[in-house]
Amino acid sequence: MEIAARVRDERSRARDRDARRLIVRFAALALFFAGCTAAPAPEDARAPIDVGTDAPSCAGIDCTTWGAALAIAPRDAVGATMDEAVADCVVQVHQSDCCGARRAYGVNHAARGSTGMPKLCHAEDVCAPSHPSPPPCSDETITVDTGDTTRDASLVRVRGVPATPCPSGVCVRCETIVCAAGDATCLSLEGITATQCGG
């Protein structure tokens, strides 16, 4: 019995030693990670962030008429050569929300007309009155097909991206891009025109 009691005592002391070692290790780790964390931000930096509660509810909201027209608008072009195909590509600009943000789309010029299928120029005419005047906010951003943005309309151009399958000739997908200022080759492409819808 005495031997068994001694064994129990020894085991109990061993558990106590292991527990103390674990506590010391965890304390050391806590101090280490505390030293690695960034210093607390100043009080003013920890203030609640304004995520745009003052922005009008129409910001970023597009007109449904436009979306329906764009979904069926021809955005490809075909020609005997690449130059001929790209010649049918034009930039169609659309005001995409009440703040004045714009999207520049590469489309086949046939997409602009006012007869037959819903056309982009007609859709834009329908959407324009839906935006409040004067606008409740301001956004001069132009977003192109590649996802790039600019505030300088003079840098927006349309190019032809080879498309497949192509039944005959050369087929391209009309795509808008933002040129670098001074890139003469890029800027020689078709750009935004003031008369895109005959205005």
Note whether residue 47 is domain-resident.
Answer: no
Share of the chain above pLDDT 90, in %: 42
- Top pLDDT among 172 and 127 is at 172
The answer to whether position 100 is within a domain reads yes
Among residues 188, 174, 166, the alpha carbon closest in space to that of 80 is found at 166
Top pLDDT among 6 and 30 is at: 6
Query: Quick one: how far is CA 11 from the chain centroid?
Result: 64
pTM over 0.75: no
Please indicate, yes or no, if residue 20 is contained in any of the structural domains.
no
In the predicted structure, residue 34 carries a pLDDT above the cut 50: no
Residue 173, domain extent = 74-187
Give a yes or no: residue 160 inside a domain: yes
Predicted local confidence at residue 79, as pLDDT = 95
Residue 174 in contact with residue 77, Cβ under 8 Å? yes
DSSP lists the bridge partners of residue 95 as 102
CA distances from 101 to 8, 60, 156, 173 (A): 78, 8, 14, 24
Total domain count for the chain?
A: 1
Residue 113 has pLDDT above 50, yes or no: yes
Q: Could you tell me if residue 121 is inside a domain? A: yes
Stretch 19-35: mean pLDDT, rounded? 44
94 part of a folded domain: yes
Amino acid occupying residue 68: A
Residue 12: pLDDT over 60? no
- Residue 24 included in any domain: no
Question: Does the residue 21 lie in any domain?
Answer: no
Confidence category of residue 179, pLDDT binned at 50, 70, 90: very high
